């Protein structure tokens, strides 16, 4: 059972990992905590945005859109590898997912296939949206993949979690495909290497 870090500690953890971090507006107090619980946290979830253009991508993830109010994540990782902090607290990124997956994340075990949507993910995961069209063709620059590795490692290190605690949205919620263009298995190997 891990309570979420304070916003200040979250920011410090990312900076200590060597990330370039941009603080967007009142990110530390921009959240959806009035809609439900935030924490305990158990892991980190990676997404792609299906958007292009850093400025627009960051704005959408901060503000949300009709039917899905922001913040849509905690940090937006743009193609240049910058992490834009848009919210902190409960955020609309994970939706309902599979309780068997959550149990596997908590136990640091291999993930079962996500085949149920019965568990509130916004409560239990830090979330990062990554600027990409998600069509399998839009490239993932190395600076962006490095930043995904680093944010994951930073939070896992801060919580004394291990690599199985970073998952993709597609591993959480049936029907989701994000992130597309690299594998979460490969990313977990990178994160494990960094944590050594
Ligand atoms: Zn997603």
Q: Where are the domains of the chain?
A: 7-191
Count Cα atoms within 13 angstroms, Cβ side, for 119: 18
Could you confirm whether domain 7-191 is CATH 3.40.80.10?
yes
- Residue 173 CA to ligand 1 centre (angstroms): 9
pLDDT in tens, the chain (196 residues): 699 999 999 999 999 999 999 999 999 999 999 999 999 999 999 999 999 999 999 999 999 999 999 999 999 999 999 999 999 999 999 999 999 999 999 999 999 999 999 999 999 999 999 999 999 999 999 999 999 999 999 999 999 999 999 999 999 999 999 999 999 999 999 999 999 9
pTM for this model (two decimals): 0.98
- Residue 92 CA to ligand 1 centre (angstroms): 9
In 65-173, which residue ranges form alpha helices assigned H by DSSP?
Answer: 99-106, 121-124, 142-159
DSSP character for 106?
Answer: H
- Residue 13 CA to ligand 1 centre (angstroms): 23
Structure-block tokens of residue 24? 């967007």
Torsion of CA 39, 40, 44, 49, to 10 degrees: -20
Torsion of CA 151, 163, 32, 4, to 10 degrees: -90
């Amino acid at each position: 059972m891990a309570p979420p870090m304070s916003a200040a500690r979250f920011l410090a953890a990312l900076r200590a990992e060597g990330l370039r971090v941009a603080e967007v507006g009142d990110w530390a107090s921009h959240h959806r905590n009035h809609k439900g619980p935030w924490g305990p946290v158990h892991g980190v979830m990676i997404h792609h945005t299906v958007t292009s253009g850093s400025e627009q991508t960051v704005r959408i993830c901060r503000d949300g859109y009709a039917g899905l109010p922001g913040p849509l994540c905690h940090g937006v990782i743009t193609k240049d590898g910058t992490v834009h902090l848009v919210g902190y607290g409960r955020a609309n990124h994970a939706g309902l997912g599979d309780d068997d997956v959550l149990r596997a994340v908590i136990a640091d075990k291999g993930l079962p296939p996500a085949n149920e949507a019965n568990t509130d993910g916004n409560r239990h995961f830090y979330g990062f949206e990554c600027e990409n069209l998600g069509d399998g063709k839009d490239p993932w620059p190395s600076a962006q993949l490095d930043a995904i590795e680093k944010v994951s490692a930073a939070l896992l290190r801060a919580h004394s979690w291990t690599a199985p605690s970073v998952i993709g949205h597609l591993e959480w919620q049936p029907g989701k495909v994000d992130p597309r263009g690299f594998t979460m298995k490969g990313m977990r190997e990178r994160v494990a290497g960094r944590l050594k």
